[in-house]
Each structure stands twice: as structure tokens, then as C-alpha cells.
Amino acid sequence: MPHSDDIKVPHPRYSRQILFSGIGSKGQSRVVDSRVAVVGCGALGAMQASLLVRAGVGTLRIIDRDFVEESNLQRQILFDEEDVQAVLPKAIAAEKKLQAANSLVKVEGIVEDVNASSVDKLLSGFDLIVDASDNFDVRFLVNDFSVKNRVPWIYGACVGSYGLTFPIMPGEGPCLRCLFESAHSAGVSASCDTAGIIGPVVAVVAAMQVAEALKMLSGVHENISRKIATIDMWNNRYQSIDLPLPQPDCPCCARHEFSFLDGSLGTDVTTLCGRNSIQIRRRGGTNIDLNNLAQKLAPLGRLEQNRFLLRAAIDGYQLAVFPDGRAIIYGTDDPAIGRSLYARYIGN
Ligand SMILES: [Zn+2]
């Protein structure tokens, strides 16, 4: 075959993705120009970030407030035993490994708590936000940011063998507050720290989120899912249901009340001076069923309960939880750790 200068040789790194007709070289160059933020670097975030960095996004920011722990290794594929020994922040450990996987991508690991005061700084300037958070306060905050700034985001959650994901496209479909009440009943929803989780469900949810991300980033709008996908890998149930229409009276996407951004809803964290403790209060008043919470926490530590409060000793911390959803966490004066423990053990 005569050599022709007209034949463009694709970059071998992305050749298989370019060969895929859904993306092609045009789609790939869009992916390469894109900026994606991943909120959370637990199991979902680690998997999403790996796939996105390998797919060649231009910039990937991954934000997380926690450190790598031994119990993460079962499913959080970016981390290893050295990270546990070094007590590395997840975002830092992730950045190092992601950068080694693809030096063409600008990887930013940010060790921060995503909250009403930090969200603008952390998420501004990105084309897409991928949810890998572990609680509804952060998701509602991301939702407010997304609707206000018209940036799409992709919801993802899993616990046990169950997972759930759907994309949120501001202006084109419902937002998170069209789908869920903001005052989510704390203490009712299970978390991986109370109900456990298996790795495969994480891999599937993260993969579905990144597939949607690649469609959005490569500009294949018509293929973006308009469905809620739910999977239960232990009980073999896989469902896909249409996203509902936006609620005409939605406080967020219809009335543009960004209550989580302005701090009128969400979590209020106060350091109790000199007591090595944190108080966490949910704005908007969410009552909590202490009996239900006690059942959830019983396998995890020592509990004491009366009709005023539930006290739990878990992981070297003492948690005192009150029926109005308020909690005092003894053993730390770091608000980020307090939020993290609240999300893990009390509810989200
Ligand atoms: Zn809405």
C-alpha cells in the first residue's frame, strides 16, 4: 500500500475509543477538551475517575474530605495498603494513581468538604459534575449549583447490592428536588457503613454514570438516558423507568430558590469550643426515629438509649443523637470529620 500523508494516524492511546462509532475522532476531541468534577472519592468516585481519566477528559477534579481506611480496600479500586498505612487523604492518593494512569490528563485531587461555602469555588468552570457523594445534603447542594449554573450532573448511589443512577440535565428534565423531598428523613436511609456493600454494584453504577458522561462530553445528546436505572445485583432486579416531568412548583428548578446554596437548608455544623466535639443540626427540622437508628447502629458499637437521646460509641467516637436530628459527636473538633461521621452513621 502506498503511503499517504492524508491518512491521519490516531493517537494510539484513544484509538479503540475513536474506533467506536458513537464517539469517533470528533467526539474524542470534545472529550479531550472537557472538564469534569467528581464529587467524592469513595468506591463510586474511584471507579468513575479511573474510567474518565483513561477515556481522556482534559481536566478531572476529584474532591473528598476523607482518608483511606482499610475497610475501603474491598471496593475502592484506586487505593492500596500503602495508602492505608500512610493515612493518605483519598483525593491525594487518587490523584497520584490517576496521573500515573494518564499523564495527558490534568488531574486535581482536592481535600475539601463540599458545603455551601466551598461549592462555588470547587465546582465552577466544569462542564459536568459526577456524583459520588455519600449523602443527600451534598447532592442537594450539587443540584442547586447545577440548576443555577446550568451544568449537568449525574446522580449515583449504592448500598448493599442495590444501586441507582440517573442524569440531571437542567432545562431539559427534572432536577433532584423534583424527584425527592429535600427534608430527607435522617436515620432512615441505609449507608454502606451501616448496611454494607458489595463491590460489583459500585462498578455497575459507576460504569453507567461514566457512559452517560461520555455521551454528554462527546456531544451525543440524543443518546443521553432520560431514565432512572435501578439495579439489585443480589436479587437479580434491573429496572429502567422514565424520569418524570419537572415539577411545575419545584423550589429549585421552577422557583429558583437555592436553599442549599444559600444555607437555609442543609446541615449546620458547630464546633463546641474546648470540648473536642461537634454539633450537627439539620436545618428545616428533620425528625429522626431513634429506635430505627438504634437497630441500624446496634451491630457497630455500644448503645445507650432513653426517650431523649441515643448514644453510640463507634470507632473511637461518641455520638449523641436527638429526636430532632441534632447530633453531638465527641472525639473530634474537625467539622469535616463530624459531617462525615453524621453521613455514615446517622443518615443522609
Ligand atoms: Zn426541580
Instruction: Check residue 155 and give its pLDDT.
Output: 97
Look at residue 202 and give its three-state secondary structure.
Answer: helix
In the reported structure, the alpha carbon of residue 328 is separated from the centroid of ligand 1 by a whole-number distance in angstroms of: 32
In the reported structure, the alpha carbon of residue 258 is separated from the centroid of ligand 1 by a whole-number distance in angstroms of: 11
In the reported structure, the alpha carbon of residue 85 is separated from the centroid of ligand 1 by a whole-number distance in angstroms of: 43
In the reported structure, the alpha carbon of residue 142 is separated from the centroid of ligand 1 by a whole-number distance in angstroms of: 13
Instruction: Check residue 182 and give its pLDDT.
Output: 54
- Report the sign of the C-alpha dihedral through residues 191, 192, 193, 194, in that order: positive
In the reported structure, the alpha carbon of residue 286 is separated from the centroid of ligand 1 by a whole-number distance in angstroms of: 21
In the reported structure, the alpha carbon of residue 242 is separated from the centroid of ligand 1 by a whole-number distance in angstroms of: 16
Instruction: Check residue 239 and give its pLDDT.
Output: 96
Report residue 70 CA to chain centroid gap: 20
In the reported structure, the alpha carbon of residue 244 is separated from the centroid of ligand 1 by a whole-number distance in angstroms of: 10
* Contact of 263 with 116, CB cutoff 8 Å: yes
Instruction: Check residue 348 and give its pLDDT.
Output: 57
Beta pairing partners, 269: 280
* Contact of 188 with 286, CB cutoff 8 Å: no
Q: What are phi and psi of 318, to 5 degrees?
A: -110, 130
In the reported structure, the alpha carbon of residue 246 is separated from the centroid of ligand 1 by a whole-number distance in angstroms of: 6
In the reported structure, the alpha carbon of residue 154 is separated from the centroid of ligand 1 by a whole-number distance in angstroms of: 14
In the reported structure, the alpha carbon of residue 143 is separated from the centroid of ligand 1 by a whole-number distance in angstroms of: 9
- Report the sign of the C-alpha dihedral through residues 191, 197, 200, 201, in that order: negative
* Contact of 72 with 85, CB cutoff 8 Å: no
pTM above 0.85, yes or no: yes
Beta pairing partners, 51: none
Instruction: Check residue 195 and give its pLDDT.
Output: 84
In the reported structure, the alpha carbon of residue 251 is separated from the centroid of ligand 1 by a whole-number distance in angstroms of: 7
In the reported structure, the alpha carbon of residue 21 is separated from the centroid of ligand 1 by a whole-number distance in angstroms of: 34
How far is it, in rounded angstroms, from Cα 239 to Cα 268?
36
The three cell numbers of residue 69 are: 481506611
User: What stretches in the chain show pLDDT beneath 70?
Assistant: 1-11, 182-189, 284-285, 348
The residues, any chain, with a CB within 8 Å of residue 41's CB and separated by 6 or more, are 49, 62, 63, 64, 66, 76, 78, 90, 91, 94, 109, 132
Using a 10 angstrom Cβ sphere, with 0-12 exposed, 13-18 middle and 19 or more buried, the burial of residue 297 is: buried
Report residue 314 CA to chain centroid gap: 24
Q: Per residue in 156-176, pLDDT tens?
A: 999 999 999 999 999 999 999
Using a 10 angstrom Cβ sphere, with 0-12 exposed, 13-18 middle and 19 or more buried, the burial of residue 9 is: exposed
Q: Per residue in 88-128, pLDDT tens?
A: 999 999 999 999 999 999 999 999 989 999 999 999 999 99
In the reported structure, the alpha carbon of residue 42 is separated from the centroid of ligand 1 by a whole-number distance in angstroms of: 27
